[in-house]
Amino acid sequence: MPENASSPRTPPWFARPGSRAWRCAAAPAEVREFHAALADYAPTPLTELPLLASELRVGRVFVKDESCRLGLPAFKALGASWAVHRTLAERAASGSASGPVTLVTATDGNHGRAVARTARLLGQHARVFVPQGVHPQAVAAIVAEGAKVTEVAGAYDEAVRLAAEAAAPADAVLVQDTAWPGYEEIPGWIVEGYSTLCAEIDEQLAAAGVLDGPDLVVVPVGVGSLAQAVVTHYRSRPSGRAPALLSVEPEAAACVLESLTRGEPVSVTTGETSMAGLNCGTPSGIAWPCLRDGLDAAVAVPDADSARAAARLAALAVSSGPCGAASLAGVHAALSGVGAGERRSVLGLGPSSVVVLLSTEGAAANPHTTAGH
């Protein structure tokens, strides 16, 4: 986006020196093998956008385009498919798989549709709790997958609470992409599922001549599960160049930024935002330690910046919804305006740097109008 596309104010920002030296265990290799065996699997595009590189004053910019992933308009099917696969395998191994199970979840849109699609393909049932603020078309898409949908008169965290209660019967299982004490295994499998996206980026960058990997990866954050997968991927390498990792949230729901600032996981009261899939008030319990130790920086952006970023990507032939475009809005906020030089230095960026933006959903994933609230 042009330098004058947003106000010159200092964005909500947190930076942590030293995170590129932190290391963790890698995701299991069999996740990629599982996805590759699915009938409709194909790597999503990694699109190079030289105009953005020029505008951001870096060497190369690539956008990981998740507008069509396993037949759905967002990346979430990677986590849902692997987690449901693991869940059903565990139930079969324990002898508790006597019939179809009801997969229960709460969603801001994309995850719920992915769980519902997975349930339909595998002959299972799905029940999805949807908070206020999700566009009616997104709700209709979940219903079209055959799920029973319950609309909640409250925020995302309330929908999660109700979903957990509804998953109590023996023939139901909660497939939630956020974790809390006592509920960590399935969210962990969802995070593992997202590792396929990162493995694809490695291969695609190498094919484009970027053999040492990116210098900066920018990831939108809701509860932080995708960001956990990204941190895990890039911080599990024993040697070689470690990229800077930047998370982006809506200003109306910046729970990770607030938690990083305070040094402990906290819940925030969320407001209304067009970035519906990121409208989460509490970081995932299993994501938090990875985000605390592995993120270089976090930034929050207003809806107007995300909308401009989506329009900019559309002009460059990349379909991106408000959540997916948050990556571009976030890196633009970080690299322009008051204090940009210092933020650029924190991220280690120069005129030859390679930047990867994760566009986590297409424009069709979460259509948004003010009339939808």
On whether the CB atoms of residues 188 and 322 are closer than 8 A, the answer is no
Catalytic site residue 76? yes
Alpha carbon distance 127, 145 (integer Å): 11
- In residues, how long is the chain? 373
Distances in whole angstroms, Cα of residue 122 to Cα of each of 77, 106, 118, 157: 14, 20, 6, 28
- Residue 139, CA atoms < 13 Å, CB-side half-sphere: 16
Query: Residue type for 164, please?
Result: A
In angstroms, the first-to-last Cα distance of the chain is 28
Catalytic-labelled residue, pool 40, 64, 65, 108: 108
On whether the CB atoms of residues 80 and 107 are closer than 8 A, the answer is no
On whether the CB atoms of residues 216 and 272 are closer than 8 A, the answer is no
Query: Residue type for 322, please?
Result: P
On whether the CB atoms of residues 213 and 241 are closer than 8 A, the answer is yes
The answer to whether the Cα torsion of 165, 169, 170, 175 is positive or negative is: negative
CA 333 to chain CA centroid, nearest Å: 19
Look-up: residue for tokens 């994501």? 287
Query: Residue type for 31, please?
Result: V
Catalytic-labelled residue, pool 64, 65, 76, 305: 76
Catalytic site residue 212? no
What's the longest Cα–Cα distance across the chain? 61
Q: Name the residues annotated as catalytic.
A: 76, 108
